[in-house]
Chains A and B, each alone.
Chain A
Amino acid sequence: MKEKMRLMTTEKRRTIPFTVKLIAGILVLLGMFVIAMVFGAAHITVHDVWLALTSSSKSEEISIIRDIRLPREMAAIFVGAALAVSGAIMQGLTKNPLADPGLLGLTAGAYAALAVTKAFFPSVGYFGITIACFIGASAGTLMVFGIGAMKRGGFSPLRIVLAGSAVSTFLYAAADGLGLFYKVSKNISMWTAGGMVGTTWGQLKLIVPFIVIGIVIAILFARQLTILSLNEEVAVGLGQKTAQIKTILFIANILLAGAAVALVGNMVFIGLMIPHIVRAFVGTDYRFILPMAAISGASFMLLADTLGRTIHAPYETPVAAIVAIMGLPFFLLIVRKGGKAFS
C-alpha cells in the first residue's frame, strides 16, 4: 500500500505544463501583433509588415508601419505588460483581489506630476515628463505610507488601502484643479485619451528600459511574492526578509506604473483584470502569473488599441474608453463572484 502511494508521487500531475501555456500565450501575442499591424485606417497587407520588419525596402505603406504603427504597437505591448505585472504585484502584496497599480497612490501621483509639469513647466520635454511621473508615483506612494504610519500600531492593510484611496482622490482632484486653473486640462486629458497615439521611437527608447527592468525585477522576486502573498508571518518564519522584499517589489511597481503613465497617461482596469484572467489559467504561483500577465497584458493592449483604431475608422476611439468599456463588465463579475476569481 505504502509502495503504491510512493509510486503515485513520482508520477507528475496530468495538467498542461506551464511552458506550453507560455508558448500558447506568446503565439497569441504574435498573432495579435500581426493583426494590430495590418488593421487600421491605412490599407496595409501582411506582406508589407513582413517587408517593413525584415527588409530595407521603402514604400508609403512601409514607412507608415515603421514610423507610426510599429512604435505605437510597441508602446501598447510594453504598457500592457507593465500595467498587468504591476497589478499582479499589488494584488500579491496587499492580498486584495481588487488591488490595481493605482491602489497605493502610484498612478494618481504620476498623473498629478504630469499635471504639475504641464502647468508649470510646459516646455519640458518627454524625458522631463517621464522623470516627473516617476517622482510623482514615488511621492504618491510615500504619502500613502506616511499617512498609514501616522497612527501608532503600524500599518494595517485596511488603513493603507483607505489612505491609498483618499490620497489618490486628492491627487486626481489636485491634478484636475491645476489643469483647470492653468488651462492645461486639455493637454492632460489628451495625454490620457490619446493613449499610444503619436508614440515615437525616441519615447520608446527612453521608457522601455524602465519597464523591462521593472518586469525583470518582478519576475526575479516572483517566488518571494508568492510566499509573501500566503501569509506574512509564514514568510518571516521561512526566512524571508519581508521588509526588504516588499521594498524591492514596490520599486519595481513604481518603475512600471510610472513608465506606463508617462507613456499613455492614466489607464485603469488592465492592472486589475489581467492578473485575474491569468490566474484562471496558471494558478496562484507568481512565478507563473507574472510572465503570463506580461504577455497577456501586452496582447490585451494591442487588441484594445486595434479596436480603438478600427471601430470608427478613420477616427480614433480613445483606448482608455475601450479598456474601460471592456473592463466594467469584468469588474462586476469579480464583485459578483465575491472575489472568488482570486483563488
Chain B
Amino acid sequence: MVRLYTENLKIGYGERLIVKNLNAEIPDKKITTIIGPNGCGKSTLLKAMTRIISQQAGTVVLDGRDISKEHTKLLAKKMAILPQSPESASGLTVAELVSYGRFPHQQGFGRLSKKDMDVIDWALDVTGTFDYKFLPVDSLSGGQRQRVWIAMALAQETEIIFLDEPTTYLDMAHQLEVLELLQKLNLEQGRTIIMVLHDLNQAARFADYIIAMKDGQVIKAGDCEAVMTHDVLKKVFHIDAQIGRDPRTNKPMCITYNLLRGDKRNEKAATPIYPAVSVNY
C-alpha cells in the first residue's frame, strides 16, 4: 500500500517551473532516494512533499488526504524533515536541540514529560550521540552534528522521515555511518525514509526504491536494478557510465564514467523549462 504519493505536481516561481506534472509514489516502510543532476528539482520535490514550499498545482497525498489541507501539527506527528545542512544551533546543547523534536507532541509552554525525556534519551542512544548530551551542538564535528539533527528528527517519533542530502560535508566514514543508521532505523523499526542523495553508488546500495529525476520530471523510478543502468544514467546525467557489481553487496554500481560529448545536451528540451530570465536588479 502506498501512503504517500504526488499527483501532477507543479512547482515553480512565476513562469519558471522547477517541477512539472510530477507523479511519484513513495513505497511504505522502504528507503527511497531521489537522484538527479543539480537543479533537476529533487530538493524542491522534497520540500513540496514536506509542505515547506507550496506547489502551483497538483497534490501531495498522505494517507488519502491532501497535505496542504492537513493541520500542520498533525503532519509533524507523521513526517519529520531534516533540511539540507541546517545552520548552527546557536549555542543549544545536544539535549536541548533534540528536545525540540518533541514540539509537535507538546502543548502550551513546553514542559517535557517523562515520556518526552525517554524518547529524547532513546533518540540520542540510537544515533550514538548520548555521550554528547550536555555539550553545545556547535562544538561537535560535522558527522556528530548530523547525527544530532537526525536524533531530533527521530525524537519527533514519525513513521516517515525526509532527509535532504544528509551526507553532504561528511567524510567517507561518516557518510556510511549516517546511511547505516538510517538503514537500521528502516529495518528495525519500519520507518519510511525518503532522501536526496548525490552519490549514485550509495543510493544503489541503500535504497529499496530510486527516483531518478531530470528537468523536473521523473525519468525512471524503481529498484536499483531498474535505475542503475547505462541508459537511465545517460538520460539523467548525460554520462556514459559503466555499470558493474559491488563485489561485497552485489548491488549495481557505477564503476567509471565519461561525459557524453558530441551529441546535443538536450538544450532544446531545456529551453522552455528555463526561459532566459531577464536580469533586472
B contact residues around A234 at 8 Å (CB): 81, 83, 86, 100, 152
B99 to chain A, nearest CB (A): 10
Are B100 and A343 in contact (CB-based, < 8 A)?
no
A contact residues around B75 at 8 Å (CB): 239
Are B87 and A231 in contact (CB-based, < 8 A)?
yes
B contact residues around A239 at 8 Å (CB): 72-77, 103-104
Are B73 and A237 in contact (CB-based, < 8 A)?
no
B contact residues around A152 at 8 Å (CB): 13-14
Are B50 and A279 in contact (CB-based, < 8 A)?
no
B66 is an interface residue with CB less than 8 A from chain A: no
Are B103 and A229 in contact (CB-based, < 8 A)?
no
Do A283 and B14 contact each other (CB < 8 Å), given the known contacts A236-B51, A236-B81? no
Do A227 and B52 contact each other (CB < 8 Å), given the known contacts A234-B81, A284-B90? no
B contact residues around A95 at 8 Å (CB): 87
A contact residues around B90 at 8 Å (CB): 229-230, 284, 342-343
B contact residues around A226 at 8 Å (CB): 100
Q: How far is the CA of A231 from the CA of B81 in the complex (A)?
A: 11
A contact residues around B47 at 8 Å (CB): 233
A58 is an interface residue with CB less than 8 A from chain B: no
**Complex interface residues of chain A between 235 and 275 (CB less than 8 A to chain B):** 236-241
A contact residues around B92 at 8 Å (CB): 230, 283-285
Are B130 and A5 in contact (CB-based, < 8 A)?
yes
**Complex interface residues of chain A between 137 and 175 (CB less than 8 A to chain B):** 152-154
Are A231 and B83 in contact (CB-based, < 8 A)?
yes
Do A237 and B91 contact each other (CB < 8 Å), given the known contacts A13-B134, A343-B138? no
Are A223 and B109 in contact (CB-based, < 8 A)?
yes
- Binding site of B, secondary structure by majority: helix, strand, loop or mixed? mixed
Q: How far is the CA of A95 from the CA of B88 in the complex (A)?
A: 11
A132 to chain B, nearest CB (A): 35
**Pick the contact of B13 from A5, A9, A153, A240 — CB < 8 Å?**
A153
**Complex interface residues of chain A between 321 and 343 (CB less than 8 A to chain B):** 342-343
A66 is an interface residue with CB less than 8 A from chain B: no
B184 to chain A, nearest CB (A): 17
Do A233 and B72 contact each other (CB < 8 Å), given the known contacts A238-B104, A279-B91, A343-B88? no
A48 to chain B, nearest CB (A): 41
Q: How far is the CA of A5 from the CA of B75 in the complex (A)?
A: 33
Among A95, A236, A287, A343, chain B packs the most CB atoms within 10 A around the CB of: A236
Give the size range of A's interface with the partner.
20 to 34
B255 is an interface residue with CB less than 8 A from chain A: no
Q: How far is the CA of A236 from the CA of B97 in the complex (A)?
A: 15
Are B100 and A237 in contact (CB-based, < 8 A)?
no
B101 is an interface residue with CB less than 8 A from chain A: yes
A205 is an interface residue with CB less than 8 A from chain B: no
B interface size (C-beta, 8 A):
43
Q: How far is the CA of A223 from the CA of B112 in the complex (A)?
A: 13
A340 to chain B, nearest CB (A): 10
B121 is an interface residue with CB less than 8 A from chain A: yes
A6 is an interface residue with CB less than 8 A from chain B: yes
Are A230 and B91 in contact (CB-based, < 8 A)?
no
B89 is an interface residue with CB less than 8 A from chain A: yes
B contact residues around A154 at 8 Å (CB): 13
Q: How far is the CA of A223 from the CA of B211 in the complex (A)?
A: 37
Do A6 and B14 contact each other (CB < 8 Å), given the known contacts A236-B51, A239-B104? no
A contact residues around B110 at 8 Å (CB): 223, 287
Are B134 and A230 in contact (CB-based, < 8 A)?
no
**Complex interface residues of chain B between 32 and 63 (CB less than 8 A to chain A):** 47, 50-52
Are B156 and A6 in contact (CB-based, < 8 A)?
no
Q: How far is the CA of A9 from the CA of B80 in the complex (A)?
A: 25
B89 to chain A, nearest CB (A): 6
B96 is an interface residue with CB less than 8 A from chain A: yes
Are B103 and A233 in contact (CB-based, < 8 A)?
no
Are A283 and B91 in contact (CB-based, < 8 A)?
yes
Are A233 and B117 in contact (CB-based, < 8 A)?
no
Are A6 and B121 in contact (CB-based, < 8 A)?
yes
B133 is an interface residue with CB less than 8 A from chain A: yes
A contact residues around B97 at 8 Å (CB): 230
A contact residues around B134 at 8 Å (CB): 13
B contact residues around A342 at 8 Å (CB): 90
A contact residues around B121 at 8 Å (CB): 6, 9
Closest to A226 in B: B100
Q: How far is the CA of A152 from the CA of B279 in the complex (A)?
A: 11
B43 to chain A, nearest CB (A): 11
A contact residues around B133 at 8 Å (CB): 8-9
A contact residues around B13 at 8 Å (CB): 152-154
Are A9 and B117 in contact (CB-based, < 8 A)?
yes
Q: How far is the CA of A283 from the CA of B138 in the complex (A)?
A: 13
B156 to chain A, nearest CB (A): 7
A contact residues around B81 at 8 Å (CB): 233-234, 236-237
Are B52 and A285 in contact (CB-based, < 8 A)?
no
Q: Which A-B residue pairs are the 3 nearest by beta carbons?
A: A239-B76, A237-B81, A239-B73
20 pairs, A vs B, C-beta closer than 8 Å = A9-B133, A13-B134, A223-B110, A226-B100, A230-B89, A230-B92, A231-B83, A231-B87, A233-B81, A236-B51, A237-B80, A237-B162, A238-B76, A238-B103, A239-B72, A239-B74, A239-B104, A284-B90, A287-B110, A343-B91
Residues on B facing A (Cβ under 8 Å): 13-14, 47, 50-52, 72-77, 79-83, 86-92, 96-97, 100-101, 103-104, 109-110, 117, 121, 130-131, 133-134, 138, 152-153, 156, 162
